[in-house]
Amino acid sequence: MLSIIAKLLLLTAFVSTFSIAQDMESDVSADDNAALLEKRRKPVTVPKFSNSPTIDGKLDEEVWKQAAQFTDFVQTEPGDLIPPSKETIAYMGYDEKHLYIAFMCFDDPDQIRATVAKRDQVGSEDYVGVFLDTFDAQRKAYILLFNPYGIQGDGIKTVNDRRSDFSVDIVMESKGMILPNGWSVEVKIP
């Protein structure tokens, strides 16, 4: 339960701040991100789910209607902290053992860039992600990225390091699917 609380603290600070379309090696400085964080920081209540969603890439289960929703994103690639070119909705909830995150990314299916990539090789495709600052210290965050098929990219980003460390492999489950109006991803994190 403590790890769920720590993750939720992080998500309060980071989900509405960092673009879900952020490039792995963004040119946005830590100072720029810190200023944006302070400007956009909003308290968030993430609900506890009574039922766990099935991780199949479909957002059709009732449990997602109970989830916290996030829509206030910015785009950094291409662009630099600009309004997103396409709408994305992120959903979040938790239960006793897991944190659940889902994304609905609206797009023309012919414009979606996705392959069955190797783990950590999703940066040249369309992807969504979160930064998890599990200690709420704003110094280090776990990076979790997912392409339209749910292929994972994960790493660690520290404030003083311009490059992210993608050598870590975090245990989690994800599944994505391409839809007539875009793509969706569901994630289950222990």
Q: How many domains does the chain have?
A: 1
Please, what is the Cα angle at 138 between 187 and 159, to 5 degrees? 100
Task: Tell me the β-bridge partners of 106.
Answer: 182
Nearest partner of 131 among 9, 1, 5, judged by Cα? 9
146 vs 120 pLDDT, higher one? 146
Which two tokens mark 5? 């609380």
CA distance 118 to 81: 28
| pLDDT at residue 72, rounded to an integer | 85
Owning domain of residue 67: 2-189
Mean pLDDT, residues 152-156:
76
CATH number of the structural domain spanning residue 70: 2.60.40
The H-assigned helical ranges of 30-82 are 30-40
Q: Is the pLDDT of residue 46 over 50?
A: yes
| Region of poorest pLDDT, from 25-29, 76-80, 110-114, 139-143 | 25-29
Q: Is the pLDDT of residue 14 over 80?
A: no
CA distance 50 to 107: 31
| pLDDT at residue 152, rounded to an integer | 83
What pLDDT, in 10s, does the model give residues 87-119? 999 999 999 999 999 999 999 998 887 767 666
CA distance 24 to 22: 6
Task: Tell me the β-bridge partners of 145.
Answer: 129, 153
Mean pLDDT, residues 139-164:
80
149 vs 184 pLDDT, higher one? 184
64 vs 157 pLDDT, higher one? 64
Statement: the pTM of the whole predicted model exceeds 0.85: no
How many residues belong to the chain? 190
